[in-house]
Amino acid sequence: MELLRNISQQPTNSNRMYEPNQPGSCELRRKRTEDHGHAPAEMSKIITDPATGKCYCRGKVLGKGGFAKCYEMTDLSTSKVYAAKIIPHTRVSKPHQREKIDREIELHRVLHHKHIVHFYHHFEDKDNIYILLEYCSRRSLAHILKARKVLTEPEVRYYLRQIVSGLKYLHEQEILHRDLKLGNFFVSESMELKVGDFGLAAKLEPAGNRRKTICGTPNYLSPEVLNKQGHGCESDVWALGCVMYTMLLGRPPFETTNLKETYRCIREARYSLPSSLSPQAKQLISSLLAKAPEDRPHLDHILRHDFFSQGFVPERLPASCCHSAPEFHVSSPAKSFFKKAAAALFGGKRDKVKYYETLNKLTKEEEEIYKLRHDLKKTVISQQQQSKQMTEDGRPPSPSAGRPVALATEGLPPTTRDTIRLIVRGSLGSCSSSSECLEDSTTGSVAETITSVLRGCLENMPKDDIPNGTECSNLQWVTKWVDYSNKYGFGYQLSDHIVGVLFNNGTHMSLLADKKTVHYYAELGQCSVFSTSDVPEHFVGQVTVLKYFAHYMEENLMDGGDLVSQPDTHMPRLYLLQWLKSDRALMMLFNDGTFQVNFYHDHTKIILCTQREEYMLTYINEERVSTTFRLSSLLTSGCPADLRQRMEYSLNMLLQRCN
Question: Which residues, listed in sequence order, are joined to residue 625 by a DSSP beta bridge?
Answer: none
- Does residue 94 have a known ligand-binding role? no
The answer to whether position 501 is within a domain reads no
Q: pLDDT tens-digit profile of 608-655? A: 988 777 888 999 988 888 889 888 888 888 888 889 999 999 998 888
Cα–Cα distance between 169 and 176 in angstroms, integer?
10
Q: For residue 361, what is the enclosing H or E element?
A: helix 355-361
| 455 and 569 both lie in a single domain | yes
SS3 503: strand
Q: For residue 419, what is the enclosing H or E element?
A: helix 414-425
Opening angle at CA 48, ends 43 and 54, nearest 5: 150
The answer to whether position 537 is within a domain reads no
What band does 34 get if pLDDT is binned at 50, 70 and 90?
very low
Instruction: Please give the share of the chain, as a percent, with pLDDT higher than 70.
Output: 69
Opening angle at CA 323, ends 322 and 325, nearest 5: 90
109 or 460, which is more confident? 109
pLDDT number for residue 604: 92
CATH number at residue 14: 3.30.200.20
pLDDT number for residue 518: 93
| 361 and 429 both lie in a single domain | no
The answer to whether position 522 is within a domain reads no
Query: In 10 A of CB 590, how many CB atoms?
Result: 26
- Using H for helix, E for strand and C for coil, what is the string for 604-633? CEEEEEEECCEEEEEEECCCCCEEEEEHHH
CB 217 within 8 A of CB 189: no
267 class by beta-carbon count within 10 Å (0-12 exposed, 13-18 middle, 19+ buried): middle
Q: pLDDT tens-digit profile of 387-401? A: 333 333 333 333 332
Q: Which long-range contacts (C-beta less than 8 Å, at least 24 apart) are formed by 98-102?
A: 100/199, 101/67, 101/129
Mean pLDDT of 541-549: 90
Question: Which residues, listed in sequence order, are joined to residue 216 by a DSSP beta bridge?
Answer: 28
Question: Which residues, listed in sequence order, are joined to residue 511 by a DSSP beta bridge?
Answer: 499, 518
Q: Give the least confident one: 271-285, 466-480, 497-511.
A: 466-480
Sign of CA dihedral 257, 259, 265, 269: positive
CA distances from 399 to 80, 428, 446 (A): 57, 7, 9
The answer to whether position 513 is within a domain reads no
pLDDT number for residue 378: 31
CB 479 within 8 A of CB 559: yes
Q: Give the least confident one: 303-307, 457-461, 545-549, 602-606.
A: 457-461
Mean pLDDT of 199-228: 79
Cα–Cα distance between 227 and 422 in angstroms, integer?
65
| 9 and 84 both lie in a single domain | yes
CB 175 within 8 A of CB 98: no
CB 543 within 8 A of CB 556: no
What band does 273 get if pLDDT is binned at 50, 70 and 90?
very high
| 129 and 174 both lie in a single domain | no
Whether residue 207 is predicted with pLDDT greater than 90 in this model: the reply is: no
Mean pLDDT of 75-98: 92
What is the value of pTM for the model shown?
A: 0.49
pLDDT number for residue 443: 64
pLDDT number for residue 588: 93
| 87 and 120 both lie in a single domain | yes
Split into its structural domains, the chain has a count of: 4
The answer to whether position 354 is within a domain reads yes
Q: Which amino acid is at 235?
A: S
The answer to whether position 538 is within a domain reads no
Q: pLDDT tens-digit profile of 52-83? A: 999 999 999 998 877 789 999 999 999 999 99
pLDDT number for residue 593: 85
CATH number at residue 461: 3.30.1120.30
Helices 233-249, 279-288: inter-axial angle, 10-degree rounding: 150
| 88 and 158 both lie in a single domain | no
Whether residue 196 is predicted with pLDDT greater than 50 in this model: the reply is: yes
- Where is the domain boundary, 115, 134, 153? 134
Cα–Cα distance between 525 and 399 in angstroms, integer?
23
Half-sphere exposure of 270 (CA within 13 A, CB side): 8
Whether residue 111 is predicted with pLDDT greater than 60 in this model: the reply is: yes
Q: pLDDT tens-digit profile of 329-376? A: 443 333 344 444 344 434 443 433 444 444 444 443 344 444 433 332
| 418 and 486 both lie in a single domain | yes
What band does 473 get if pLDDT is binned at 50, 70 and 90?
low
What band does 50 get if pLDDT is binned at 50, 70 and 90?
very high
| 223 and 121 both lie in a single domain | no
| 461 and 586 both lie in a single domain | yes
- Which residues make Cβ contacts (< 8 Å) with residue 324, sequence separation at least 6? 148, 349
For the ranges 210-214, 571-575, 619-623, the maximum mean pLDDT occurs at: 619-623
| 594 and 655 both lie in a single domain | yes
pLDDT number for residue 512: 92
pLDDT number for residue 369: 41
The answer to whether position 47 is within a domain reads yes
Cα–Cα distance between 193 and 172 in angstroms, integer?
19
Q: Give the least confident one: 117-131, 135-149, 486-500.
A: 486-500
Q: pLDDT tens-digit profile of 306-317? A: 999 888 888 889
| 212 and 73 both lie in a single domain | no
| 30 and 72 both lie in a single domain | yes
Active site residue 179: yes
pLDDT number for residue 237: 96
Domain extent for 333: 327-370
Whether residue 238 is predicted with pLDDT greater than 50 in this model: the reply is: yes
Out of 35, 125, 127, 179, the active site residue is 179
For the ranges 9-13, 30-34, 287-291, 444-448, the maximum mean pLDDT occurs at: 287-291
Residue 426 Rama label (left phi>0; alpha psi -120 to 50; beta) = left
Whether residue 1 is predicted with pLDDT greater than 50 in this model: the reply is: no
- Where is the domain boundary, 134, 153, 171? 134
